[in-house]
A and B are shown apart, each in its own frame.
Chain A
Amino acid sequence: MAASTLFDKVWKAHEVVPETAATPAVLYIDLHLVHEVTSPQAFSVLRSLKLPVRRLDRTLATMDHSTPTTTDQVFGKVPIKVDAAAKQVRQLEQNAADFGVELFGMRDARRGIVHVISPELGASRPGMTIVCGDSHTSTHGAFGALAFGIGSTEVGHVLATQCLLQRKPKSFAINVEGKLPPGVTAKDLILAIIGKVGVSGGTGHVFEYRGSTIRGLSMDERMTICNMSIEAGARAGMVAPDEVTFAYLDGKPRAPKGKDWEESLARWKQLASDPGAAFDLSVDIDAAALEPMITYGTNPGMVVPIGGAIPHSAGDAIHDKALGYMGFRGGDAMLGKPVNTVFIGSCTNGRLEDLEAAARVLKGRKVASGVHLLIVPGSQQIKRDAEAAGLADVFRAAGADWRESGCSMCLGMNGDTVGAGQYSLSTSNRNFEGRQGVGARTLLASPLTAAASAVRGRITDPREFL
C-alpha cells in the first residue's frame, strides 16, 4: 500500500461515499461544534423542513462570539448591553431546547470559546473529523483531527445528516526543525510561517506541521499553531498525535476510559504520516533562527521580527493602503511604537499556558499609565484554573482588567472594542481593518510581547523581561 499522510488516513476513514469526477465525497463528521452567531439560519432551515438534528451525541453548542465578558452581565445582575447579542443568546437557548442539543449556556461552568472548551473536555480527539461554523476550527487539528470551518448552510447539512459534501484538499507539509530560542513562542512561530507562506499560500491545502520543533511543543502551543492555519489560507492544519497528545487527553471528562481508551490509543498510534508519504507542497522553517514576531499591517502575513523595521513599499497598493490605515511609514522601527490597548485572550492565545506566560512578565510590575490591558480567559475552566494558580491576582495587581471568558475583543461583537485610530497589541489572530472596532489598528503578537508592551506602553521585546 502506498505511504499515506495523517490527513489521507483521517479523510479515508470518514468517506461515507468516495468522490467521483461528478460528485464530491460524502464525508462523515464526528463532532459538530455550534455557537450563537453562525447557527440561527441553519436551525431555521431544519425547522422549515421539519428535520431533527440527526446525531445529538455528536453535537455540542456553546455561546462565545457575542457574549459579554463582565461578570454582572454574564451572571444576569444586569442585562446584556448589546441588544442584538442578547437576542442571539436567547435564540441559541431556544434552538438548543427545541432540538435537544447539548448547550453550555451563559452561566454554565463549562462555557467558553468553542475551540477552547472542546479540547479541555477531551471531546476533540485524534483521527476525528470536527467542524464548526467558524474558521478557527482548525485549532482542533492539534490533536491529529481533520478540523475545519464551514458556513451556515453547511452547519445545516451537518445538523441534518452528520455529513458534508467535500472535495479532498491537497496536502502541504510545514517542516519545522530546531529549538525555539527563549522568549520566542508558538505564536511567533505561526506568524513567521504565515509570513513565509503568505495569506493565500495554503488555499486548497491541509497543512501538516511536522518536525522536531512541533514534536517538542505542548498541546496548548500546538493549538496556537493550528489555530492560525486559516490565516495562511489553509483549509485545516494538523499535528500527528503522540505521547504529548495522549497525556493531555488521559483523564479528560469526555476522553475514552478503560478498554475504550486502550483501543483508541492503539488506533491513534497508527495515524501519523507514514515514512515517505508524499505531500503536494512543503516548506522548511528553521525555528532556532526565529525572533518574537509582530504584525505591522492589515493582514497576518504583514509581519516582521520585533526588532525589525516596516518594509518599504515597492508601489504595492495593498502595502500602501495598510500602512495608511495603520498610520505607519515604510522604514519605521516597530520597537517603541505606542500602544493604547493590549488584549490577551482568544482561541489563539487564551489558554492557561498563555496566561502563565503573561503573568511571568506582569508579576510585580504595573501596566503603563493610560494603557488598558484586557485579559479574557478562553473558558470558564481556564478562568478558575488561573484564579487558583494566583495568575488573576498577578493580573489585577498589575492593573489589568480580568474578565469572564469569550471571544471578546478579538472581533469586538460583544461591545469589547478598540477605539478608532487606537493601537491595540493583541494576542488574537486577525489584524484586519476594523476587526477590533471601527478604525481600530491591531498589532498581532504573543502573550509575552503583549504583557511586556503593556508594562512599557510601547512595543517592547519581551526578552528584556525574561
Chain B
Amino acid sequence: MEPLRIVRSRTVVVPLANVDTDQIIPARFLTTTTKEGLGKQLFADWRYRSDGAPNPDFILNQAPALGCQVLVAGRNFGCGSSREHAPWALLDYGIRAVVSTEIADIFRNNSLKNGLLPVIVDEATAKWLIEHPGADVSIDLESATLTLPTGVAVPFPIEAFARHCLLNGVDELGYLQSKLADIERYEASRPSAA
C-alpha cells in the first residue's frame, strides 16, 4: 500500500444518516472476484435511473462533485453489510476520506486496510461541513487533524497502529506474520478440544 499523509480536496456532501453499504455498493455487484472497477457502481441505485441514465438529482452527477476526494456524510456512515467492496468502490471512484460524526465499525476497519481515511468529527464541525458543500479541506494524518477553509483545525481520533501503517505504507499482514513465534507458542498452550 502507498503511504498516505495528506488529503487535500473540495468536499462532496451526502448529508443523510445511516448510509448503509448496500447503498454504497448494491449486492448485485458483489459477484466480482477482484477489487477493481467498482467505482462505476458506487451508489448505483441513487446515481442511475432504472434505464441506466445518470440521475441528475444525485450529487455525484453534478458538476461540483467532479474530482472531490473527501466525502462528508451523515452519522453512522457505512452501516450494515461487511462487504469490503464498499471502500473499494469509494476508492475506485476517487474518494480518499470519509468525514462523519459516526462511522460503522466494520466499514471503518475495512477502510483503514485500504487507505481510505475514516475521519470522525464533532457535531459542530459536521454541521459546518454539511452546510458548506465544496469546502476546501485538508486532512493531515500525521497530526490527525482536519483543517477547514476557515483555518480551524479539528483533531480526529484514529487508531495508532492503523495510522502508523497508513503513514508508512506498512502492510498489516506483514506485521501479523512477524508474530509467528507468538502464534505458535499460543497454539501449543491451548487445550486439545478448544
Contact = CB atoms under 8 A, between A and B. Distances in A.
A301 to B, nearest CB: 8
Interface residues of A, number: 74
B177 interface: yes
Contacts, number: 183
B182 interface: yes
Interface stretch (A106-114, A149-157, A304-312, A349-357): A149-157
A430 B16 contact: no
A317 B15 CA distance: 9
Interface in A1-59: 16-17, 21-24, 26, 28, 30, 37-38, 40-41, 44-45, 49
Nearest to A236: B105
A153 B18 contact: no
B28 A150 contact: no
A106 to B, nearest CB: 16
B82 A151 contact: yes
A235 interface: yes
A150 B160 contact: no
A260 B192 contact: yes
Interface in B47-103: 50, 74-76, 79-84, 87, 102
Contacts of A49: 173
Contacts of B175: 165
Contacts of A44: 33-34
Nearest to A165: B172
B143 interface: no
A37 B85 CA distance: 10
Contacts of B177: 160-161
Nearest to A86: B31
B194 to A, nearest CB: 7
B111 to A, nearest CB: 9
A127 B79 contact: no
Nearest to B32: A84
Nearest to B174: A49
Given A38-B82, A91-B33, A151-B82, A200 B102 contact: yes
Contacts of B32: 84
12 contacts: A30-B194, A38-B84, A87-B31, A151-B87, A153-B114, A318-B18, A411-B27, A412-B28, A430-B20, A432-B23, A433-B22, A434-B45
Top 9 nearest A-B pairs (CB, nearest first) are A84-B31, A151-B84, A151-B110, A40-B33, A149-B82, A260-B193, A200-B76, A153-B113, A135-B82
